[in-house]
Copies of this chain bind each other. A is one copy, B any other.
Amino acid sequence: MDQSPCKACVGAWPADSYRITSLDLTDAYLNEDQFFPGWSVVVLKRHATELFELSREERGQLVEELSTVARAVSVALSAKKINYALLGNQLPHIHWHIIPRLVDDPAPSEAPWAVPHTPRSPSPDERRQRIAVIQRQLG
């Protein structure tokens, strides 16, 4: 990884207008690419790159927050399956992708990254509505 400052740490990503909620250790955002409707990201507030760099307590809390947001996304979008991924190949700061796979998924048996597509930015109205339905499930 290079020496440039971490985009997540300096607040350059994700955009504030995509925020769903702020939890104890993480912030949850709608993903800027909504090709898979409801695609969200759960970003650790502090900088770390691997699960095994965290304390046991942090890992436990992180997976609770991941699960809480995943359930909300699943119910809000009536997902058939949730895909969870912590990659960090482009941005090595712990962030989970939560990708709901819906009944009309274009390639239901494939990993999201095996489905070539043009990124789909939501309109401001779509963005706000999608964030709101997920927030409603978070209570």
Measured CA separation A92–B80 after assembly (Å): 10
Interface flags, A95-139, vs B, CB<8A=1, else 0: 000000100000011111110000000000000000000000000
Other-chain residue from B59, B67, B82, B83 in contact with A67 (beta carbon distance below 8 A) = B59
Give the size of the chain A interface in residues (CB under 8 angstroms). Answer: 36
A83-B86 CB under 8 A given contacts A52-B67, A67-B51, A113-B111? yes
Check: A15 CB closer than 8 A to any chain B CB: no
Minimum CB–CB distance from A70 to chain B (whole Å) comes to 6
CB distance from A54 to the nearest CB of B (A): 8
Pick from B54, B62, B110: contact of A89, CB below 8 A: B110
14 A–B contacts, CB within 8 A, in A order = A50-B70, A50-B74, A51-B63, A52-B67, A52-B68, A60-B60, A81-B89, A81-B92, A83-B86, A83-B87, A84-B85, A90-B109, A111-B113, A114-B114
